Amino acid sequence: MTSDELLRAGDLVAIGRYRTVVSQEFADSLQPGDQVLALSHNGEIRRLPNAVVDLVQHAVTAASLAFTKLSLVSDASINQFFQLAADALKDEPTFSKLREANIRDEESARARGRSVTRLVLSENMRRDMISALLMWRDMPMSRDSLVSQTQHSGWTVEQRSAPLGVLGFVFEGRPNVFADATGVLKGGNTVVFRIGSDALGTAKAMMDLIVRPSLLKAGLPVDAVFLLNSPEHAAGWALFSDSRLCLAVARGSGTAVAELGSIAQQSGVPVSLHGTGGAWMMVGEDADLTRLELCVFHSLDRKVCNTLNVVCVQRRLASVHVPIILKAAENASSARGTRPRIHAVQGAEQYLSSVEEIIVHRSEGEQSEPQVTVSSVESLYTEYEWEENPEFAILIVDSLDEAIDLFNKYSPQFIVSIISENESERQSVWASTNAPFVGDGFTRWVDGQFSLLRPELGLSNWEKGRLFGRSGVLSGDSAFSVRLRAHQVDTNLHR
């Protein structure tokens, strides 16, 4: 199909309540066979190149066929896959090749001024991946288990878990997603991946060196795990608009994830989204000072979604608590060879003596910045994405109630921690904060593998401050549907 046959510059396109004018640039970009995707949530249009659409259609078709074949594979074979994949990651020559691919991705990302915080395939990440695979190996199978049973006179109805089908995943550039997301096999599901372009080389090496060989050796269909070999964002758009998906999971930046979720929903595909983060900590009047220091320190070891982002300190005790928080942040930074970057809100700067310039490592390079910046209350919306310098806000409040109100207004309503020895203060935060994850210590506990011993695909649909369904962690064995099975003893049963 030529661009003239499809859309022309100046054409007015009605998309729900929106009216969108086709730009000259967009019209010129169209090639024969391309598709145009209209976004109902904002009225914008996206180009889906013909080659990308064909790639996605092939991938979902292959994964659909693999789903049928997987139902005939024994539980032992599925468990063997996880063992084989873990063994492959333990193998030094194999991992060396994988690390070489990752180094190329890392160097390319740095050259383009991209963040590599979550891209580097470190030894710690390797250990976590091996641990995740072995966790999946040892977990009970979930593809046909009894959920509930209703007993009648002469007959019985069972509700049993059943696989969903093909799952679609769009991830940012994190190499460890493979170990986490192959857990869908445990529930009898198959998966199609689209990974961020920064990590695509690592992902292809992971498929070639770890995943495909392990699938084949275990006797599983090789297309049960399918990677879209495309760096284009359109691959994610096309994947999530394929109505054959049974679940679409997206992780990454907030705007991109929200758009992917909207595409899936308008295509009739259920979604699980995880696009924002940033944890809050509230310091109570009865906080144990040693506990406060340790909890701040352990919440700033690296930048991920559950890293400490805002600390709320009550004004009456700010002169005591703020120096302890700063000491903990300096210690966490020192372990990375850096200094912390602080945003002072509502007068926190008067408790922070530093006015010096420090070297801050940004994705675009090193730069000199003031260690402490005075920021507005509206800045509490910000999730600080840092590379090497732990970066967070210290907020001064007049009461715990004010901290709770500001959390409910400005935070992503994700994680809150209350540091207090007073049960009344802890209970107040539990009852009044609109957060699905509430604790009384460090914030980094919110992780499926760490807290629930289940490698996570994402944190499931918590954006409104509450969780839907069984838990906040979407893992491979929690992606299931339910089938009903009746057993009739009484042959004269009649309705």
Q: What is the pLDDT of residue 478?
A: 62
Task: Flag whether pLDDT at 2 surpasses 60.
Answer: no
pLDDT (tens digit, 9 = 90+) per residue, 223-247? 999 999 999 999 999 999 999 999 8
Class for the domain spanning 51-274 = alpha beta
Q: How far is CA 48 from CA 36, 128, 241, 425, in A?
A: 6, 36, 11, 53
**What's the CA gap between 299 and 417, in Å, rounded?**
10
CATH of domain 279-450: 3.40.309.10
pLDDT (tens digit, 9 = 90+) per residue, 112-164? 888 787 788 999 899 989 998 998 899 888 788 888 898 989 889 888 888 88
Rounded mean pLDDT, 395-402: 97
Numbered ranges of CATH 3.40.309.10 in the chain: 279-450
Q: What is the pLDDT of residue 338?
A: 96
Burial of 412 (0-12, 13-18, 19+ CB in 10 A): buried
Left (φ > 0), alpha (ψ -120 to 50) or beta: where does 318 sit? alpha
Task: Flag whether pLDDT at 59 surpasses 60.
Answer: yes
Q: Within a 10 A sphere around the Cβ of 187, how many other Cβ atoms?
A: 24
- Reported confidence tier of residue 251, pLDDT bands at 50, 70, 90: confident
Query: Could you tell me which of 72, 55, 5, 25 has the C-alpha nearest to residue 242?
Result: 55
Integer-rounded Cα radius of gyration of the chain = 25
Four-point Cα dihedral 180, 181, 185, 188, nearest 10 = 130
Q: Between 473 and 101, where is the model more confident?
A: 101
Q: Kindly give, in sequence order, each residue whose CB lies less than 8 Å from that of residue 299, ignoring residues fewer than 6 positions away.
A: 279, 281, 307, 308, 417, 442, 443, 444
Task: Flag whether pLDDT at 455 surpasses 80.
Answer: no
Q: What is the pLDDT of residue 134?
A: 93
Contact 159, 183 (CB under 8 A): no
- Reported confidence tier of residue 480, pLDDT bands at 50, 70, 90: low
Rounded mean pLDDT, 286-295: 95
pTM for the model stands at 0.76
Task: Flag whether pLDDT at 24 surpasses 80.
Answer: yes
**What's the CA gap between 438 and 453, in Å, rounded?**
18
Q: Give residue 234's identity as a one-letter amino acid code.
A: A
Q: How far is CA 244 from CA 48, 249, 462, in A?
A: 18, 14, 25
**What's the CA gap between 257 and 263, in Å, rounded?**
10
**What's the CA gap between 298 and 308, in Å, rounded?**
9
Portion of the chain with pLDDT greater than 70, in percent: 90
**What's the CA gap between 485 and 150, in Å, rounded?**
11
Q: How far is CA 264 from CA 41, 107, 156, 246, in A?
A: 11, 33, 37, 10
Portion of the chain with pLDDT greater than 90, in percent: 55
pLDDT (tens digit, 9 = 90+) per residue, 72-99? 999 999 999 999 999 999 999 999 999 9
pLDDT (tens digit, 9 = 90+) per residue, 421-453? 999 999 999 999 988 888 999 999 887 667 766
Lowest mean pLDDT among 185-189, 223-227, 327-331: 185-189
Q: What is the pLDDT of residue 275?
A: 66
Q: Give residue 295's identity as a one-letter amino acid code.
A: C
Q: What is the mean pLDDT of the chain?
A: 88
Task: Flag whether pLDDT at 471 surpasses 60.
Answer: no
Numbered ranges of CATH 3.40.605.10 in the chain: 51-274
